[in-house]
Structure formats: C-alpha cells, structure tokens
Amino acid sequence: MISLQNVTKTYQIGPSLIKALDNVNLSIEVGEMVAVMGPSGSGKSTLMNIVGCLDVPTAGTYSLKDRKVEELSENELADIRGTNIGFIFQTYNLLPRLTALANVELPLLYDGSKNTKARALEALEKVGIEDRKNHKPSELSGGQQQRVGIARALVKNPSIILADEPTGNLDSKTGVEIMALLQQLNKNSKITVVVVTHEEEIANYNDRVITFRDGSIVSDKPVSDKTVISDQYLSDRIANNEN
C-alpha cells in the first residue's frame, strides 16, 4: 500500500539546507494501524506530508498503491488526496463558517459526486454526531469537532486515514473516544490508519510504532500489548455524550 524507498527530503531555509528526511525506507500494508512517534523536528510531519501527497520527495521513491507519486502532476496529486487519503488534524481544520454537514460535504464538491448531502450525513452518522449536523465548529466541543473532522476524512471512503496528533488538543477521555473511533474504522472498514503522536499511551492503540529521530527511523516494532477498545464502549460513550 504505502512504500517509501530511500526517501530524502531537504528544505532550503535561508542559507542552510535542512534534511527533514534522510534515506527513509518504510512500507505499510493494507489494514495496518501504525503510530509514528518522535520529538518535534524528527521528520514525522514531513513524512505525513509526503505520504499524504501534499509534498513530493527530493530523492527516492514513494509508491502509493503501486503508483509512483513523484511522477504525478499537481492535478493528479490533488485527485489522489481527494480519493485515497483522509486527513485528520490536531486543530481539526474545519471551516469555521460552515456547518458540520457542510464541512463534511466539502471533499465531495471537488469531484462532482452526487447525493453529497446524503453521503455527508451518512459519514456523520458513522461517527455518531449526526444530531449536530447544523452546528458550526464554534458551537461544538473539541471532541465533537474532531469527530466531524473524522467524518470529513471518511466521506469519500479513503483507503488511508492520516491523523496528525488527532488527540493533541483533547482531554484524555475524549482522546480515547477518538482512538476508539479510529480503531473501529480500521477494523470494520479495513482503512489503513497512520497516527502521528508523541504520547506513548496513544501509540499503544496501534498495531505498530515507528519512531523517528533527526529524519531517520530509529525503531520500528509491533505493539505487544495493544489497547483495544470494544465497540460497546464506544457506543456507550457516544450515547452518554448525547445526553
């Protein structure tokens, strides 16, 4: 699914050349749930940008579903982002003036989909927040906003969800809910999930943890005692939230 071979990414900042990724080799299979860890500046954000097709490597090859990303045009990259990848952000990145429903509908507007409203509503139902569909982000709690963000990532049935510190702005209880939701999507919808985090606890909800330091992978190992949240727990929590 995701395969990086000798990927290097350098940035020119003023007179100095910064090596954000240094000869990274990595592959992630369909249906995996992977945590990417590391201190800030270790290259994990650059990795996410490249995996998310927001950026292309300076050297090396990145293949997504056997397509070489560095050979694609800007428009093709936009298409891949739209159809294959769902982004979840630490700060949610919802458009403040749009309702929850309109925010979720947004990705569908860029590919000429039909029944956009119905599909957006369906995605909101999947994350259990359809009753807040007409609320604007400012009228929602952090957890609710992040669930709208997840619905937006889901709405086009992507094969990969990239979550950049999805629980970073949330309290731990809400964080667990969000991780539970991601686990559920990974398990039930077979979506590959990549989560960037610096919290050990959050990393433990994944199958595998990759650790970065100074642009290189320093460790890549499976999680032996993965925290699994039952679907029951999740639906209870969501039910409680609604009360």
Partner 1 sequence: MKIKSVFMMAIFSVTANKLRTFLTLLGIVIGVAAVISLMSIGRGTQQAITAQIESLGTDLLFVSPKSGGNLTLADADLIASDPRSNFRVAPQINAPGSITFRGEETSAIVNGVTGAYASVRNLEIDSGNFLSPSHVKNRNEVVVLGSEVAKDIFDERKPINEYVSINGRRFNVIGVLKEKGGGARFGSEDGQIFVPLTTAYYRLTSERTTQGEISISTINVQYVSNGELVDKPVEDPKEHISDILRFSHRTTEDDFSVTNLQDVIDTLNEATAALVVLLGSIAGISLFVGGIGIMNIMLVSVTERTREIGIRKALGAKKRDILGQFITEAVLISVSGGIIGASLGALISYSINRLRLFGPDFETVITADIAILALTVAGVIGLFFGIYPAARAAKLNPIDALRYE
Give the footprint of partner 1 on this chain (CB under 8 A): 49, 52, 54-55, 74-75, 78-79, 81-83, 87, 89, 93, 95, 97, 106-107, 109-112, 152, 156
Name which of 96, 142, 120, 98 is nearest 241 in CA terms. Answer: 142
Nearest to partner 1 of 49, 227 (CB atom): 49
Nearest to partner 1 of 23, 83 (CB atom): 83
Nearest to partner 1 of 76, 200 (CB atom): 76
Q: What does the CA dihedral 165, 175, 84, 70 come to, rounded to 10 degrees?
A: 10
Closest approach of partner 1 to the CB of residue 87, in Å: 5
Closest approach of partner 1 to the CB of residue 98, in Å: 8
End-to-end CA distance of the chain: 41
Closest approach of partner 1 to the CB of residue 72, in Å: 12
Nearest to partner 1 of 21, 209 (CB atom): 21
Name which of 187, 209, 208 is nearest 198 in CA terms. Answer: 209
Backbone phi and psi for residue 5, each to the nearest 5 degrees, phi listed first = -125, 120
Closest approach of partner 1 to the CB of residue 110, in Å: 5
